[in-house]
Each structure stands twice: as structure tokens, then as C-alpha cells.
């Protein structure tokens, strides 16, 4: 008799975004005339930069010609892309990252989950609360947790609240943890971490032999020049951090799929016999066994991000979404709502009015304004009483959504 991975039975019924989609579809079916505006999932709406489109068309033509056709590429990604990333994203900011330490993949979501395969099941794992749900759910699937309590908190995980009381900076744990997930600019709160904040985390990780999983998917949204874009801008991070990056939110690749993970060769963790093992070797082994790389065409599209034209077009895209975030912040603030984030991030974190629960506010917004956001409690117990509004949409839709919300929820 075949058996299942019972850990899956510990998961809450649905992953947050499909659950929202299910509720929205049910509402749409019952209200065929409703003009629903979706500011829920952080999915981009604007077309790909022309520099990327052109590069992908050219790459497609190469694939159609016997002379330039390509079969399997390197599992780690083509050297020409890794070199550009190392140079533009890291070395230009003073980070000592070698192209060999960069692994191209089809998404940070997959990588933040897959990375657990190279770690043991006996690690103490810390996540912020609220948190990107993938970090928690993949640990549940891997058997790294017990059951969830009524607040949805899993036994065995260390939750680090990020709340208005601590200015949305995650508190360094009092206890010793082995793996720590950090995401800055933060999804979902839109909060940022200063160099000093990250230095404190790196110091903690070095003192405790912990590894930080640093998700920098939203680094392109940093407008404050004093903020670090990479954890490797922090002294000591090469010895304690893995960084995840994506082309989804800067170049609009959510449907095109390209991302990267940096595993410095100086990073080690303990084997059962107490010896130090290079994590780079394990991740390289994992990727070359289970992954055949991102398509040549898509990698050429990602490479174009680093051309002069590509850089300008990406800046325009990011500025466009940041202007949306500004409109959301300003209009909701003027209506008397308490808002956070949205300055160095595409997410605005809103305190629900009149003590409404996150899901009650979700339902109210859907029913009365036909606007979809994301309930804060879907990101963790400490997100209860908050609501995330994404700036990823057209200007027209953002303005219309704000008009509807501010008319109904003026406090
Ligand atoms: C979100 O809405 O939080 C994002 O879409 C998450 C993701 O990029 O997977």
C-alpha cells in the first residue's frame, strides 16, 4: 500500500493566494456585473521591458537555426548571465560575489522551498510573523514542524513578530536558532532593514553558527540610498547567508520565470559526524541532479535587464509601481486609515478600520468596493488586524480602487 507524506496533512487547507482566488471567483460568479479590481497577489500587470522582449525574440530565432540551436544548458545557468549578475547586482555594490556562486533558477518561491533539502531535519527554524507563507508551508511539508495551533502557528517554529510596536523590524531571538528567514524590503509589510539591522542579524548568525535565508526579491524598490540591497553588503554575511533574488518584480518576469540564488563558497554547516560541509557543493549537487536550468531564451531576456536600455526600462517599471504605492498610501492616509510600507516596497500594510478582523475586512472590501487585497492574518497570527494592498496594477485601476475604498471607509 502506497503511503503519503503525512506532513501535508498538517497544512492549512489552501495556500493563501489560491484561497483568495477561490473566494473572489465565487463572488464574481454570484455578481456577474461587479467590476472587481485585484490588489491582492503581488503579480505584475505591466508588459515586459522592450529590451527583454527583443533579446528573447532574437534568442528564439537562434533556437530555430541549426547553427545557433542550443540543447541542455548548464544547470547552474549560462556563464554570461551569471557574470552580469555578479558584476551589476553584487560587485558594483562592494559585495564579493563570484559568478560561480550564483545559481539561475525559475523562481525564488521554488528556491526558498527547495533549499531545505540540503539541510537536516533537526534545525531550529525562525520566521518572522507576518511572513511570506511559502517559508512556513515548505517547512511543514519537509517535516520540520509539529501541528498548527488555532492561530495557525506551527509547533517547533520560532516566530519573530514584526509589528507596529517594534517599527516592523524583526526582533533578534533570545534563544539560539539555526535557520532564519528574512525578507527585506519586506513582504507583506513593506518595511525595510537598515545596514545596522542586518549587521545585528549577521552578528547573531555568526555567534550562533546559524544560516540566514535572505529574500531580496523586492530590492529594486529601495528608494532610500542608505538601505542595503543585498545582505552581502554586510560584513561577515558571506559566512552565514544565502540570498534569493528574482526578475519577477523588477523586470515583470512573474510569467516568464527567472530568478537566482547565491550560495557563497565560504558557507558551511555541520554534518552528523560534526565535520563542516560546504553548502555550495550540496546545492550544486542538488541542482545538477534535479534541475535542468532555465530556458536559453528566458536567460537571454534576463541578461537584457543589465543593458543600458534594460536598466532604464526597469527603472521606469519600478517607478510606475512605486507611484501606485504612493497613491495608495496618500489616499488611505487622507481617509484616516493607518498605513505602513509602500515607500521602498510595492506593498502597503494597512491597519483594518473599526477593529475589523483581516478576513472580515477582506470580505467587506470585496462586497462593498469590489476590491481584492490580502488579509494580514494570512501571513501569520501577528498580521491579524492588518491588510496588504499591492501596488501591482494599472494606474487607472489603482485610482479607481482608492476612490471606492476611501468613499466607503472614511474614518
Ligand atoms: C505575494 O503576493 O506575496 C507574491 O506574489 C508572492 C510571490 O511572489 O510568490
Cβ within 8 Å of residue 253, ≥6 positions away: 48, 52, 246, 247, 298, 301, 302
Calculate how far, in angstroms, residue 252's C-alpha sits from the geometric centre of ligand 1.
12
Report the candidate in 374, 348, 286, 299 with the shortest Cα–Cα distance to residue 110: 286
Cβ–Cβ under 8 Å, residues 373 and 20: no
User: How many whole angstroms from 41 Cα to the centroid of ligand 1?
Assistant: 6
Which residue is closest in CA terms to ligand 1's atom 5? 42
Q: Is the pTM of this model over 0.75?
A: yes
Q: Under a CB-based contact definition with an 8 Å cutoff, are residues 89 and 123 in contact?
A: no
φ, ψ for residue 378 (rounded to 5)?
A: -65, -15
Dist. CA 3–CA 218, nearest whole Å: 39
Domains 6-47+309-408 and 52-307 share a fold: no
6-47+309-408: CATH number: 3.90.1150.10
CATH number of 52-307: 3.40.640.10
Asked, as a colleague might, if the bond just before 312 is cis with ω within 30 of 0, I would say no
Beta strand 37-38 pairing with 371-372: parallel
Domain boundaries, the chain: 6-47+309-408, 52-307
- 111 with 164: CB under 8 angstroms? no
pLDDT at 18: 83
Residue-level pLDDT at 411: 67
- The cell numbers describing 270, all together, are 555541520
The protein residue whose alpha carbon is closest to atom 4 in ligand 1 is 42
Backbone angles phi, psi at 340, to 5 degrees: -135, 165
Residue nearest to ligand 1 atom 6, measured at CA: 42
Residue 278 is placed in which grid cell?
560546504
Closest CA to 104 of 124, 135, 79: 79
Read off the C-alpha cell for 369: 468596493
Q: Residue 135's pLDDT is what?
A: 97
**Are residues 371 and 403 in contact, defined by beta-carbon separation less than 8 angstroms?**
no
Output the tens digit of pLDDT for each of the chain's 411 residues. 999 999 999 998 666 888 899 999 999 999 999 999 999 999 999 999 999 999 999 999 999 999 999 999 999 999 999 999 999 999 999 999 999 999 999 999 999 999 999 999 999 999 999 999 999 999 999 999 999 998 889 999 999 999 888 888 888 998 999 999 999 999 999 999 999 999 999 999 999 999 999 999 999 999 999 999 999 999 999 999 999 999 999 999 999 999 999 999 999 999 999 999 999 999 999 999 999 999 999 999 999 999 999 999 999 999 999 999 999 999 999 999 999 999 999 999 999 999 999 999 999 999 999 999 999 999 999 999 999 999 999 999 999 999 999 998 776
Ligand 1 pocket, CB under 6 A: 41-43, 109, 132, 187
Ligand 1 center–CA 47 separation, angstroms: 18
Compute the distance between CA of residue 369 and CA of residue 363 in angstroms, rounded to an integer.
10
Distance between CA atoms of residues 177 and 365, nearest Å = 39
Q: Compute the distance from residue 43 Cα to the ligand 1 centre, in Å.
A: 7
In the chain, the largest separation of any two C-alpha atoms, in whole Å, equals 66
For 40, 135, 371, the CA distances from 20, given in Å and listed in that order, are: 8, 19, 12
Amino acid at each position: 500500500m502506497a503511503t503519503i507524506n503525512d506532513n501535508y496533512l498538517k497544512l492549512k487547507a489552501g495556500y493563501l493566494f489560491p484561497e483568495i482566488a477561490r473566494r473572489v471567483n465565487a463572488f464574481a460568479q454570484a455578481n456577474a456585473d461587479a467590476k472587481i479590481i485585484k490588489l491582492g497577489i503581488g503579480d505584475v500587470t505591466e508588459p515586459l521591458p522592450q529590451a527583454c522582449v527583443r533579446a528573447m525574440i532574437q534568442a528564439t530565432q537562434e533556437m530555430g537555426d541549426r547553427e545557433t540551436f542550443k540543447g541542455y544548458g548548464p544547470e547552474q545557468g549560462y556563464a554570461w548571465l551569471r557574470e552580469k549578475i555578479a558584476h551589476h547586482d553584487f560587485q558594483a555594490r562592494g559585495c564579493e560575489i563570484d559568478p560561480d556562486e550564483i545559481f539561475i533558477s525559475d523562481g525564488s518561491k521554488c528556491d526558498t522551498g527547495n533549499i531545505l533539502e540540503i539541510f537536516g531535519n533537526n534545525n531550529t527554524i525562525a520566521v518572522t510573523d507576518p511572513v511570506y507563507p511559502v517559508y512556513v508551508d515548505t517547512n511543514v511539508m519537509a517535516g520540520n514542524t509539529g501541528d498548527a495551533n488555532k492561530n495557525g502557528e506551527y509547533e517547533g517554529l520560532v516566530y519573530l513578530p514584526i509589528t507596529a510596536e517594534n517599527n516592523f523590524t524583526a526582533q533578534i531571538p533570545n534563544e539560539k536558532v539555526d535557520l532564519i528567514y528574512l525578507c527585506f524590503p519586506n513582504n507583506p509589510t513593506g518595511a525595510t532593514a537598515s545596514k545596522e539591522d542586518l549587521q545585528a542579524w549577521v552578528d547573531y548568525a555568526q555567534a550562533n553558527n546559524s544560516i540566514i535565508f535572505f529574500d531580496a526579491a523586492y530590492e529594486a524598490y529601495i528608494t532610500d540610498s542608505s538601505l542595503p540591497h543585498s545582505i552581502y553588503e554586510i560584513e561577515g554575511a558571506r559566512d552565514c547567508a544565502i540570498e534569493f533574488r528574482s526578475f519577477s518584480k523588477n523586470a515583470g518576469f512573474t510569467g516568464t520565470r527567472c530568478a537566482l540564488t547565491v550560495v557563497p563558497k565560504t558557507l558551511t554547516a555541520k554534518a552528523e559526524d560534526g565535520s563542516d560541509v560546504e553548502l555550495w557543493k550540496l546545492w550544486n549537487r542538488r541542482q545538477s541532479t534535479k534541475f535542468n536550468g532555465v530556458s536559453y531564451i528566458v536567460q537571454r531576456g534576463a541578461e537584457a535587464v543589465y543593458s543600458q536600455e534594460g536598466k532604464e526600462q526597469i527603472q521606469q517599471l519600478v517607478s510606475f509601481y512605486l507611484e501606485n504605492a504612493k497613491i495608495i498610501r496618500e489616499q488611505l492616509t487622507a481617509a484616516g486609515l493607518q498605513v505602513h510600507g509602500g515607500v521602498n516596497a510595492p506593498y502597503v500594510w494597512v491597519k483594518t478600520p473599526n477593529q475589523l478582523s483581516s478576513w472580515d475586512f477582506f470580505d467587506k472590501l470585496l462586497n462593498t468596493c469590489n476590491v481584492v487585497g490580502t488579509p494580514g492574518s494570512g501571513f501569520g497570527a501577528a498580521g491579524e488586524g492588518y491588510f496588504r494592498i499591492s501596488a501591482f496594477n494599472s494606474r487607472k485601476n489603482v485610482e479607481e480602487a482608492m476612490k471606492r475604498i476611501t468613499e466607503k471607509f472614511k474614518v
